[in-house]
Amino acid sequence: MTGTSATESPLAGVKVLDLSWFGAGPIAGRALAAAGADVIKVETVKRIDGLRAMAPRPRGARGYNLSGYFNNYNANKRSVTIDLTTERGHELGLVLIRWADVMLTNMTNRAVKQVGMGWETVSRENPRLVAVYMPMMGTTGPHRDFQGFGAMLTAICGMNYLAGFAENRPVGVGTNYPDYVVNPMHAYIATLAALRHARRTGEGQMIDVSQDESSVAAMSLPLFAHDNGGGAYLRAGNRVPYAAPHGAYRTQDTPDRSDRWVALACLDEEHWRTLAAGICGHPEWTDDARFSTLASRLSNQDSLDRLIADWAAGQQGAEVVRRLQLAGIPAGLVQDAREMLEDPHIGERGYFVQLDHAEAGLRWYDGPGWRMTESPVSLDRAAPMLGEHTFDVALDLLGLSADEIADLVAEGVLQ
């Protein structure tokens, strides 16, 4: 890892071999790429990153280069296709290991063994290497060979138990939340720490990111409630034990939305008095014994929510949010994907970026999620097409001649 100037990206000069697929690994790799690292993603035609085959994609489109999910999670990377399960492919993979500062994978432990990229092997080839392993349950323990994706992970880590209502079945959170958010950022932070150590000492190290444990780390409230209070954490929808009202309430339909909702929270008595008297126009609510204290409001939330819902049904969503915010009450519109893309605040800050993909065309991509005053962090290249950079990497990094590349393509080693 080389030093950087104030105008360089913070990870300029860092080289990453990305052996990951689907969500958690690729997003961690994209974070490194957005910070300036040179990330080479390795796939094989016989076993592509499965996200390439998934929707969403342009209507009627077919092929492995058009998935919105894949393209969003793999911007700023290069793509090479090498069959690491072949003898010659494994040798080429080890050349890339010697080139890399970081190796990243969220394959299962069995798959890592199959491609011969375990820690003993890669550390022997490159003692300075930071090797990040992200199997769902970690590299050790009785469940280390469990397989699954975010939908299973949200159940295993306890998150599903928190979503919905106590009288209904656990419903999850509607998306593979942990492996899209928590897991990749834990891997990213750990990688930065290990890179700093490697730069100072010359020593690489293995990073074991259990996606299960990473997800459990975000579950502190119910776990600590159980451990310290001894009580069960009950599914209660949007309700919380420290605020009332606290929820989402339907407002008037708009020409472009027939289900407009506003989320609001009264976190203290001043919020409640301001909402009841100043915003809703019902000062008598604060004198009602059912709602005069937080404890009484929590005991009568069904009645309270009906009052707030009846009031909200006659309000225009954006206007009532403006009034609530001016009054210092936390509130916001419940927005859909289109509204997020068109959000003027997000737009002015330039979070979403448009990148032109050779097959998918001009598409929106998530931004890095943070910015730095001295070091640029950005996405400026669309996701690579499958094997787009195989020839260049084979020629420049692997040291192969054009004839050797052609022979390896014919043998199925390079694809």
Dihedral sign (CA 402, 408, 409, 415) = negative
> Which of helix, strand or coil describes residue 77?
strand
152's tokens: 């299973």
DSSP state of 269: H
User: Amino acid identity, residue 248?
Assistant: A
Beta carbons of 210 and 106 less than 8 angstroms apart = no
**Distance of alpha carbon 95 from alpha carbon 102, whole angstroms:** 13
Tell me the two tokens of residue 77.
Answer: 């990377």
> What is the torsion angle, in degrees rounded to the nearest 10, for the CA atoms of residue 20, residue 25, residue 26 and residue 30?
-130
CA 193 – CA 186 distance, rounded (Å): 11
Amino acid at 213: E
Cα-only R_g, the chain = 25
Nearest-angstrom CA–CA distance, 26 and 307: 46
Output the six-digit token pair for 380. Answer: 């400026």
Which residue among the candidates 38, 83, 179, 212 is catalytic per the annotation? 179
Which spans in 229-293 are helix H? 269-273, 284-287
Distances (CA, A) of 216 to 21, 108, 182, 222: 22, 19, 10, 10
Do 160 and 172 touch, CB atoms closer than 8 A? yes
Active site residue 227: no
Q: Which among 150, 107, 113 has a CA at the least distance from the CA of 132?
A: 107
Residues taking part in catalysis: 179
